[in-house]
Homo-oligomer: A and B are copies of this chain.
Amino acid sequence: MPSQLEHAMETLMFTFHKYAGDKNYLAKDDLRALMDKEFPGFLERDPMALDKIMKDLDQCRDGRVGFQGFFSLLAGLTIACNDYFVVGYAEHYRGL
């Protein structure tokens, strides 16, 4: 039986393949569908968000985001959430 961490890593992989399908990359429409479903409300905050994300991740400028690009997106989001969590935790214990 996988550990919780292994299960989480499996979820990251399966999520990519769910939206990438057999072609094994995310086109812009796949990325939009993934963001809408997995991070509801995220794209609504900035009408240019999808274009900005696509530009960051599509390093070959071929309109395709591979698994490593997808993982970079998750890294950025998770590290930002973690920084927020650590600050919040510290402030909570300092009574701020």
Interface residues of A (CB under 8 A from B): 3-9, 11-13, 15-17, 24, 37-40, 67-68, 71, 74-75, 77-79, 81-82, 85-86
Chain B residues in 8 Å Cβ range of A5: 11-12, 15, 38-39, 74
Given contacts A16-B82, A24-B86, contact A9 B68 (CB under 8 A): no
> Chain A contact residues: over half helix, strand or loop, or mixed?
helix
Interface pair A13/B78, CB less than 8 Å apart? yes
Of chain B, the residue at the smallest CB distance from A15 is B5
Interface pair B71/A75, CB less than 8 Å apart? yes
Please name 15 pairs of A and B residues whose Cβ atoms are closer than 8 Å in the assembled complex, sorted by A: A3-B40, A5-B11, A5-B12, A5-B38, A5-B39, A5-B74, A6-B39, A7-B11, A8-B12, A8-B15, A9-B74, A12-B78, A13-B81, A13-B85, A71-B78
